[in-house]
Every structure is written in C-alpha cells, then in structure tokens.
Structure 1
Amino acid sequence: MQLNHEGMGPAVLKKWTSVFTPAPQSAVRLVCLPHAGGSASFYLPVSRALAPDVEVLAVQYPGRQERRLEPGIDNVPDYADRIFEMLKELTDKPLALFGHSMGAMLAYEVALRMRRAGLPAPVRLFASGRRAPSRQRPNERLHEGTDAEIIAKVRQLGGPNAGVLSDPEMLELILPAIRNDYTAVETYRYEPGPVLDCPVTVLVGDDDPEVTIDEAHAWAQHTTGPFDVETFPGGHFYLADQGPRVIDLVRGTLAS
C-alpha cells in the first residue's frame, strides 16, 4: 500500500501515525515508537533530520495529544497487535523499527508478529533505552503507586514530559497515559519461543538506571541476525543530548 497522509491512506493509518516530513522517494521507512507517556511528536526532529533519505513514520498511541479522548491501552500485547495490524498494510518499501524504552519492547513484539505472519522482516530493529525482553526486573509496581510516586519517577528520568509536571492542567491530561504505559511495561512477561532473524542494534546511555550494559547486550539472545550495541554518554533520555550522533548512526546503518 502506498502511504499517503494527505487523503489516500486508510483512516486507521492516519489515526495511529504521523509523517512530519514526507520523503516519498526514500528507499526505506523508519517506524518510530515512543516511550511510556510519550507521543509521536518526540520524533519530529528525527523525521526532519533523516529526510529525504529515510521517511519517518511516528506512531501515536491513544490517550494523548489529538487522541487524548480515546481509551488508553494498558498492556503490551494489545499495543503490539494494533500496531502490527496497521503496519502490515505498508508494502511499498522496506520497514525499519526504532523504539525507545517502552517503544523498544513494542518494536520487538511487532517484529515477532511480522515473522509469525510470514511478512518480510524489518531491515533493522533499533532498540533504545530498554533492557532485553528476557531480562525482567521483579517487583516493579510503579503503576500501582500514587500520582506523586509516578511524577517523581518521570522527573528522575528526565525527558520531554518532565517540564510539564508542575502544570496541574497538563498533568491531568498526561498522567492517565503515563500510568497506562507503566502498567503495560511492568506487567509484560516475556514468553520464550522463536527469535527474530533481523539485524538488531541496541542503543543505551552509559548512565541509564533502567538499563545496564549487560542487560543491553542480552538482546543478542533475541535474534539470529547481526547484532551490535552502541553506548552513548547520558542517562535514560541520552537522546536529548546525543541526537546528532544517533541520527548519524541510524542514517549510516540504513544506508548500508
């Protein structure tokens, strides 16, 4: 299916995705999945920087921004199923997947669904800021905590949501989505089975409390394809300071 956000694409595609910088002549499409509480606009700078070589398709989860009135999703399987159903219609050019934090988990689960369905594998899976699916930390229960505990965690990690947490009106809008996403992340359970066969590149900040270097390297157990880990200075949202280096890595990897 030819992607066209100006009226030709299906309604579900336009609801779930944003193409901030169309690049119709690009050889590959990069599907970008946001972090917990994040939105498609997180990838606006990525879209601008990669065009026209790569067209970025930024996923917009329900329960935020223009989809704020829609019911949220609180589990990874439902998230992945809906994203897969939307992406499987895009057959006009190869797909790569880039996910940060929760988005990396979803990218992995979507790639698994692509393999089970017999579809072409992603040309590359970029897993950023997230430990391997099989490396789960027990007793994560932030989604059951108070609003104050969730806010404190988001502030600790930094990122684009941290600046609006002092605005009561904005907080009322975004907190339900953040709680839903933490519920999805913390109730996710890895099920051993067939692994991916696509190349996987893991990106991690060297001071990220959410991912150790060992947990990042454990992604190698989840694919039979080429695998590498790229480490950047910074914490969970190292992307904020290392954006140009990340862009160069993604562009160079996809070009090769």
Structure 2
Amino acid sequence: MIFKKALGLNYDDESVIAGETHTLPYACRVMDPGVIQVYHKLTGWVYIAALPSKYTDELYRIFNQVNPCVPAKNVLQTTLTNGNPAIHPAGTLMMAAWIEATGGDFYFYENGIQPSVGRLIRSIDTERLSIAKAMGFDLYPGPVLTKKQGYLIEDDYENCYRSAPGFKGVKAPQKLDTRYFHEDVGFGLVLFEELGRKFGVEVSNISSVITIASTIMQRDYRAERARTLDKLGLGDLSCQELLNCL
C-alpha cells in the first residue's frame, strides 16, 4: 500500500501490481558491514497477497516457484499475520534493564523469553488474533504458525521460544533504541490498536505496551502516526468498505 501511494497510484490501479509476504522467507541478522548470518530458512507457510487482491493467485504462482507460500485474502491479512509486533516489543520491554546493563550481551530468545515474558506475548497475540477474526481472517496463533515454518519444536507461548532451533544464537538488541520498538510498536502495534478499536475488539494489552514503550523511550508512538489508517487513506471508510477496497 505504501509502495503504490509513493507511485501516486490508487490501490485498485492495475498498471502496477504490488504484493507482499507476511514475513521474510529466512531469519537473518547483520553481523558486520556486508556480513549477514542466516539463522533459519523457513520451511514454508509464508503468506502472500497482491494489491489489488484479485491478482494474488497470479502472484502466488510466480513466487511459489521460488519459495513455498500460501495465498492470503488481501494485504490486511498479511499485515496481521506478522508476529513481530507481538514478540519483539513485549520481550524488549521485559528485558529493558538487562539490555541496558549488558549492552544486549545475551540471547534474546534462549535467555530472555522466560515463561512470564511468554505470557505477555500470548496476551498481545490473542488480541491480534481477535482483530483478525473480527475482520474475517482465521489466523494461526504465533507459535503454531512459527512451528509450521520450522522455527519451533514446541508451540506453547511460555516455553517454545527458548527451545527454538530457528531462533538459536540470536542476540538481544545492544540498546533500547532499536527497531524492536520503533518498527514493531510505531508501525505495528499502533496500527493493530487502531484496527482493534475500529472493529470493536478489546486491545488493552496492545495499548499498554504502546504506552509503556512510549514512556521509557521518551517519544509518543501514537502521535508520530508512522502507520495509521489515515496515512493509508483508509481512515474514513466503514469496516465493510475497508475490507472491500483492497
């Protein structure tokens, strides 16, 4: 949607067919300038959608030749399928003092996502699933989908991340000035909160994480409006119009 707006095109313009997957087909981190470590190559279950959505099947046939994928209903479903906004902000908030004290010298998943952190992640993920259901999307819980992708060997929130082979060796952020807040709160949870309120879904845990992250980072992620319905040109639409326009 951002890509088409940058081109000055309406979402239903067929001169350029845009598309997205809900996540990367691999997990990786930059280790040094020009050096990337790939921790895991997904075994499948990457959702894909085109804009306009009537071209999703065509996009799926092309992309599936390169990487196994699953057609989504539209780009709102791929947006809500991304699990990072549920995992990263909750984990980073709960590990904030540890990150500041050590400069992130520990493993984010293996050491950091203890059962209490997993329970916070579950609360946010449950709200994400409720938003999706209200919009007509039946999504898998985060750990269930991530297990299908080969990251995990378990699919419970409290223990699955620590034992995950696909997350093994991933270090914590070196500082709190990180995309785990700026991207996953500012561009992720703020939009999830808006969608939840528009479709009448309780999002108290999502709202709490946005508020606390804003407090400790001394910035207002809501006021920054990095990714909102208004900025996407969808703010004035009814729920049904929103679902039909893509």
Same fold (TM over 0.5): no
Greater Rg by CA: 2
Instruction: Name the TM-score, length of structure 2 as normaliser.
Output: 0.29
Instruction: Name the TM-score, length of structure 1 as normaliser.
Output: 0.28
